[in-house]
Amino acid sequence: MQKPINYSLLLLLVFLLLPSINFGHTINYILEGAPTNNVVWYYLKLGYQHILPLGLDHILFVVGLCMLNANIKTLFWQASAFTVAHTITLILSMKNIITAPPAIVEPIIALSIVFIAIENIVFNKLNPLRIVIIFLFGLIHGLGFASALNEMGLPRDAFYTSLLSFNIGVELGQFTIILLVYWLLIKWFQQKEYYRKFITIPISLVISAIALYWAVERII
């Protein structure tokens, strides 16, 4: 009989990260006073590119989400829960309310990918608590997004506009990955008897191996 995963450890990780206060957001002086449509397009594209093609870790995370569940609506809901969560910590971090150093955040992001991949291997059906876990991981990933976004800066007169545009770009990037995985794998093979044995498990093993390597590398 499969033992349930102790999700309380994930909650502990989140609470360990959230109290750290480190930096406020840098200012994007170039876009200050720029037309709203220019700001929206710039950060929308930035958010999308942060997932595709630049965010290999986030790509693997989303692909991992797709491996245990074949319902595209459920996948979209999971991606949306992730976006809502990382939006919360992204705003709080850019407002200098909470943040954590990349040396802590980046290894945990890699380990979150390992967790999802291993869960795909251990369980043969979707755990109802997975959306909660995705939300918690989203809180951590939001701190990683903040670190990257802080390098580009935000215009002071369009703080929320630029943040919203960035997050919509991230969401569109995630939806693109889900649609690609669905049309390339799930739609054609999900009903096959060998789907789990020859698609879900091998892909999850590859994802977990890559992410574990990242985790060790980032820790070292």
pTM for the predicted model, two decimal places: 0.83
d(CA 52, CA 44): 12
Does 29 map to a domain? no
Q: Tens of pLDDT along 17-49?
A: 444 434 455 666 577 777 888 999 999 999 999
Instruction: Determine the length of the chain.
Output: 220
* 23-53: burial string, b at 16+ Cβ within 10 Å, e else: eebeebeebeeeeeeebbebbbebbbebbbe
Which structural domain, as residue segments, surrounds residue 88?
35-219
* Percentage with pLDDT > 70 across the chain: 86
Does 181 map to a domain? yes
Does 39 map to a domain? yes
The residue type of 122 is V
d(CA 209, CA 85): 26
pLDDT at residue 128 tops 70: yes
Question: Which pLDDT band, with edges at 50, 70 and 90, does 94 fall under?
Answer: confident
* 112-135: burial string, b at 16+ Cβ within 10 Å, e else: bbbbbbbbbbeeeebbeebbebbb
State the total domains in the chain. Answer: 1
Q: Tens of pLDDT along 136-182?
A: 999 999 888 887 787 777 888 888 899 999 999 999 999 999 999 99
Question: Which pLDDT band, with edges at 50, 70 and 90, does 127 fall under?
Answer: confident
Does 9 map to a domain? no
Number of Cβ within 10 Å of residue 157's Cβ equals 13
Does 138 map to a domain? yes
